[in-house]
Structure 1
Amino acid sequence: MALNEVHISSLVVHVSPEHLTEIKTQIETFDCTEIYGDSPEGKIVVVLETENQGFVTDTIDAINNLPNVLSTVLVYHQIETDLDDTDIDTGTNHSQIEGEV
């Protein structure tokens, strides 16, 4: 039986400041991405909520390959497992934090 997982990750994307608005628009077209903030210096905080880790790495690569993106760094990744209806009702969710800065 496969585990039902949700991967919550946050990224810091550094872009050329003059392209900030353009890159934010492009990032918002990716599935499961949400922008939580940005700075005039060209840094964008992006949160991903996905079903598997492969999607996280694929999205990092895709964002990093956009024109005018200088770097994309994973700063947080949490895995919620066993999220079927009975676990949610009883509060028995399990978390694993892989990295936090």
Structure 2
Amino acid sequence: MARVKQALAALPGAQVHGSSAEGRIVLTLEADRSSHVADQLHAAQSIPDVVSIALVYQHHEHADSLNEEIPDETDSSRVH
């Protein structure tokens, strides 16, 4: 398990968040294109002793949107 987690963490844009005693691993993959994430998934699946990979959630947005301010809708001082 330690060798698999180390190999996964070595993938570009990858971060291992945790694992279970049963051998499940939580991994985040980040890339600038969806096709790069697909390449990362393929590379992860090719690591020895990895049985399967399941994409649970995928999110994509342009990097420019990360600079946008998001209003706090829970702010009770705002007038509606």
For the aligned pair, the TM-score class normalised by the smaller chain equals 0.7 to 0.9
The number of aligned residues is 70
Q: Deviations over 1:23-71 (max 9, x none)?
A: 0010111111001110010000000121000111111111111111100
Change beyond 3 A, Cα 1:83–1:22: same
- Within 5 Å, give how 1:4-23 maps onto structure 2: 20-23=1-4
| Structure 1 residue 82, shift from structure 2 partner | 5.3
1:63-74 equivalences under 5 Å are 63-74=44-55
SS in 2 for 1:72: coil
Distance in 1, matches of 2:63 and 2:9, equals 28
Given the alignment of the two structures, is residue 77 of structure 1 paired with residue 67 of structure 2, yes or no? no
Larger strand fraction of residues: 1
Residue 55 (str. 1) matches residue 22 (str. 2) = no
Q: Percent of pairs identical after alignment?
A: 27
1:91 matched residue in structure 2: 69
Q: Which of 38, 48, 65 is equivalent to 2:19?
A: 38
Indicate the structure whose relative CO is greater, using CA pairs within 8 Å and at least 6 residues apart. Answer: 1
Gapped runs of 5+ residues in structure 2? Answer: 71-80
Secondary structure at the counterpart of residue 25 of structure 2: strand
CA RMSD between the two structures: 1.7
